[in-house]
Amino acid sequence: MDFSGARQARLMHAIDRVLARRRPQVSWEAFALLAPERPRLLEEVTAELTVGESFFMRNEGHMQALSNRVLPALIEENADKQTLRMWSCGCAAGEEPYSLAILVDQLLEGDPAWNVSILGTDLNPAFLQKASTGLYRPWSFRQTTICQDARYFIPEKQAFRVQPRIQRSVRFNYLNLVKDVYPSPLNGTLGLDLILFRNVAIYFKPEVTAEILARLRMALRPGGWLLLGETEVSNAATDGFEVHRLPQATFFRKPMDAAVEVSPIGAPLRVRVAGAPGRSGSSDLPEWYHTPEWCELPFAAQSEPETATKPAVPVQSNVPLPAVNGSLQKVRELLSVADLQGAQRALGDCLRREPLLIEAHLLQAGLAEDQGHLDIAEQAYRRALYLDRNHALTHFHLAMIQQKQGQQAESDRSLGIAMKLMDGRDPAELVEYGDGVCYGRLRELALLLQGASA
């Protein structure tokens, strides 16, 4: 984040607020010396500096452009596969992704045949917790009367709750746009039709924003659209985008003939964020979710881990990893062009041929989370643990799912195992099968999850 000039005073105030809440006896001068707690405190300070104030149908011009031009075009393009995948970056308390879900539902007239998946990410856990409840006070509707539409909201005392069928199409993840890895099929940020990145770039220096936009372009499928905030358009790095200036808004589009941009699974990216769980979905599961019978064997995934052993030469973030399995690379390529059904079939074929391939089970879990099938994702993570019970990242994912399902004791146990497995690991060492996440970032995320459950 950019803390130059007057913003430095805001930084000091944010540190004061976090320390007053977490460590009231510590001065901000001693802040940098809190090594064990510093990662979590820094994340909280960053969250304090972001504005979580939003409301439904914010910016009427943007909503009209989406409803009248961009979304109808996407629906027409995707009519055969009947899927839409979208991402709201910096979603705050969830008003933006829910607004997007409502616009899509109005255009589809509630057609249940469509698979609509909307990802909302933010770096403030408190915002994400509020978003997941789907409960909003009248102030969140100060520029719209949509809360009066019974198709989308249920009055509840002095507030309004998002209808469950709308909630099911939206899921919320923690993701730091600067520190975490994307695009990635493991956190649902690959092969997207639309990304909203409104009023987020204001927090970053131009060179950081340019890097983020480059990654967002990679996250889009060919023909995918990007929408920025009104004040951010003039300074945006538009390399690799077509610029579409509509009457109500300016959109950036990835060319339809753009080359497939896929980083191999396990590429030495900086870090990746582990996706937060979504919601359990329908019991009518697609064929690709079904796994070979060997997976039904009993296992000891929740047993205490053996002492983690380090490789003779630690894998550093600048050391190339072994080539990814060809079948999984094919899955990734299909996801990058938004061919979700083709990717699911290819992954199912891969699992039938190579049922002991841990990376395939982790990818299956990630796709299941992306579709809101928490129970299926949990099964896939447990199968991965059957093959490698000392894999810290998988225990961490399992802890997140268990927490979302209200299984706090089980979540605490899984998180404890993950933390124990990370003891003594070099922070720069890459987590095996982690799509580029290093142990240092994984520990930071584990501390955040631990704090959220406290």
CATH (residue range 287-453):
1.25.40.10
Tokens of 233: 């358009």
Q: How confident is the model at residue 317 (pLDDT cuts 50, 70, 90)?
A: very low
Nearest to 69 by CA among 258, 256, 249, 255: 249
Task: Tell me the C-alpha to C-alpha distance, in Å, between residue 363 and each of 126, 143, 304, 384.
Answer: 28, 41, 24, 10
Q: Cα-flanking dihedrals φ and ψ of residue 182, to 5°?
A: -160, 150
For residue 102, give the 3-state DSSP assignment.
helix
- Sheet strands (E) in 229-295: 242-245, 250-253
Nearest to 443 by CA among 31, 423, 435: 423
- Letter string b/e over residues 258-275, b meaning 16 or more CB atoms within 10 A of that residue's CB: beebbbbbbebbebbbbb
What does the H/E/C string look like for 15-59?
HHHHHHHHCCCCCHHHHHHCCCCHHHHHHHHHHHHCCCCCCCCCC
Task: Tell me the C-alpha to C-alpha distance, in Å, between residue 163 and each of 62, 147, 300, 386.
Answer: 23, 10, 39, 38
User: Over 70: is that where the pLDDT of 248 sits?
Assistant: yes
0.85 surpassed by pTM: no
For residue 393, give the 3-state DSSP assignment.
helix
- List pLDDT tens digits, range 344-371: 999 999 999 999 999 999 999 989 888 8
In angstroms, the CA 145 to CA 138 distance is 10
Task: Indicate the average pLDDT of the chain.
Answer: 80
Nearest to 99 by CA among 170, 150, 157: 170
Q: 268 CB contacts (<8 Å, ≥6 apart)?
A: 317, 318, 319, 320, 321, 430, 436
Nearest to 378 by CA among 447, 281, 272: 281
Q: How confident is the model at residue 8 (pLDDT cuts 50, 70, 90)?
A: low
User: Over 90: is that where the pLDDT of 57 sits?
Assistant: yes
pLDDT of residue 296: 33
Tokens of 66: 């989406």
CATH class of the domain defined by 60-253: alpha beta
Q: What is the dihedral of CA 180, 32, 415, 135, to 10 degrees?
A: -70
Length of the chain counted residue by residue? 454
DSSP-derived letter for residue 69 is I
- Letter string b/e over residues 311-335, b meaning 16 or more CB atoms within 10 A of that residue's CB: eeeebebeeebeebbebbebbbbbb
- List pLDDT tens digits, range 105-137: 999 999 999 999 999 999 888 888 899 999 999
Distance separating the N- and C-terminal Cα atoms of the chain: 27
**Residue ranges of domains in the chain:** 7-49, 60-253, 287-453
pLDDT of residue 32: 53
- List pLDDT tens digits, range 166-179: 999 999 988 989 88
In angstroms, the CA 327 to CA 359 distance is 11
Q: How confident is the model at residue 256 (pLDDT cuts 50, 70, 90)?
A: very high
Task: Tell me the C-alpha to C-alpha distance, in Å, between residue 446 and each of 136, 402, 449.
Answer: 29, 14, 5
Q: Are 187 and 274 in contact (CB under 8 A)?
A: yes
Q: DSSP characters for 312-347?
A: SS---TTSPPPPPPHHHHHHHHHHHTT-HHHHHHHH
Rg (CA), the chain: 21
User: Over 60: is that where the pLDDT of 279 sits?
Assistant: no
